[in-house]
Structure 1
Amino acid sequence: MAGGFRVKRVHDEPSPDDGLRVLVDRLWPRGISKERAQLDDWAKDAAPSDMLRRWYHEAPQQRQEEFAERYAAELEGAEQRSRLDALRVQAAKQTVTLLTATRDVEHSHVQVLLRHLG
């Protein structure tokens, strides 16, 4: 039974069809308890570095393209590649829902992450 990846905001209600729920943010989301999040895993190492995240948030509209390039380069690190490989293995068996607190999921690091996982 193949699952694949899907994306959801961590603030959305968990669903039985979420499969494996993995937080892909470096920081814990504000206002969400561990119980409410119902996480199976927290993949901090698959999230942008603190330095890159801070740089991007200073001017997200102007830095979107360069952010995507820098983050993609970070995902080529050995630790990150190992984490992505593990997520791919899980997604081959079941649905893996990547969770983020980002409000604008379409213009977030999750889209870059999905391209790398695909």
Structure 2
Amino acid sequence: MAIRLKLSHFAVSPRIWYVSFSRLYSNGSSHDSSGSIRSAGGAFGKKEKAVEDQYFHNLEIAQLNKIKEERAQHYEEEIDSHEEAIDDLEDQIRRHKEKIRRHKKKLRDSSNEDSD
């Protein structure tokens, strides 16, 4: 079973990361003599295989959930930094508008003095 996820902008890099999880589940036959119940076959061997497969399936699900949580947290942090940048730029715009207003007032005042 292979699961392929497309994680864009994961971490700082603008690259697209492909994370591949794969687990080769046991096929029921054992070539070595490890696990005498398993190698003997029968109901106990099938149950052991099922328990092992379920364990690794749950492990994969936990890993995928962790990646999803990390990705969501990363996006939240990225949004927060963009909102801060927007606030800074809006402050700059206000300051520049105020400078323009003062400059126009100064020009009007100097043109009024010249006409007198």
Task: Please indicate, yes or no, whether the TM-score normalized by the shorter chain is above 0.5.
Answer: no
Structure with the greater alpha carbon radius of gyration: 2
Structure scoring higher RCO (CA < 8 A, sep ≥ 6) equals 1
Structure 2 length normalisation: TM-score? 0.23
